[in-house]
Structure 1
């Protein structure tokens, strides 16, 4: 069964559901959990001059990871966490790269929550992970 789970969290209710699901799975299998939050950035500007701008503050990103790790540890799960950074368009590739570096045998992610024009502009991270991952992917949906 699974021994090393990568849990991607984003501070949304979907991220909370990911933590809940991997806590249950890790308790059943004895797996360790590595929590990751990728602090997204986006490129602003045109072809001549552009700037990469973080979408959220570093402290906010760290709070998301710390809360997830604390919850997992509170449930008796061996867990650690990290904040990574990357462009929105690269989030799925970053998660795959980290899972390979960590030797993860399962990646748990929430579904994309963009709609309307945002859904067209931002690629689905969960779809991207499922498409290129060489390990199992658990898509966890929240109640809301």
Structure 2
């Protein structure tokens, strides 16, 4: 059924719930999980975060690495095969490109992430991925319940 499950993460509670669901599915289906975190950069580049030293790209990359490492640790505890990837760019584009590169059967992601007020019901990244993905997408709420699936 599903052999390669992609779980994008931004370290939010919604992404954590999605990662937990992805790991449960992978364990039950003997599937491989690919954890992806995108250090968001846009046309203006990365934004510096208060209290951070060093370049914004480096800081965001370090945080993204921490997010996928956390999922990898959880996968190893559950004896689930996992790969990790950190990228810089526009999250929707990077998630869709990576899903295609690894031939993902399923993307499991949270309803929303760390976005602000403009990301109401579904986060803009989640919405973009569900609208444009060539594979199934399972959207998980912060409580771990499936909210919707696409396509």
Classify the TM-score, shorter chain: 0.7 to 0.9
- Kept in 2, the 8 Å contact 1:42–1:54? The answer is no
Give the structure with the larger helix fraction.
1
Match runs of 1:1-144 below 5 Å: 1-44=1-44, 52-54=45-47, 57=59, 58-86=61-89, 90-113=90-113, 114-116=115-117, 118-119=118-119, 124-143=124-143
Q: TM-score, normalised by structure 2?
A: 0.79
Q: What per-residue deviation string (whole Å, max 9, x for no partner) do you get for residues 81-113 of structure 1? A: 011110xxx311211110010011001111124
Question: Aligned-pair RMSD on alpha carbons?
Answer: 2.0
SS in structure 2 at match of 1:119: coil
**4+ residue runs over 6 A deviation:** none
The farther-off stretch of 64-73 and 107-116 is: 107-116
Figure out how many residues of one structure are paired with residues of the other and give that number.
Answer: 131
Q: What per-residue deviation string (whole Å, max 9, x for no partner) do you get for residues 103-131 of structure 1? A: 11001111124343x438xx700010000
Instruction: Tell me which structure has the larger Cα radius of gyration.
Output: 1
SS in structure 2 at match of 1:53: coil
Q: Which structure 1 residue ranges, 5 or more long, are not aligned?
A: 45-51
Q: TM-score, normalised by structure 1?
A: 0.82
Q: Which structure 2 residue ranges, 5 or more long, are not aligned?
A: 49-55, 145-151
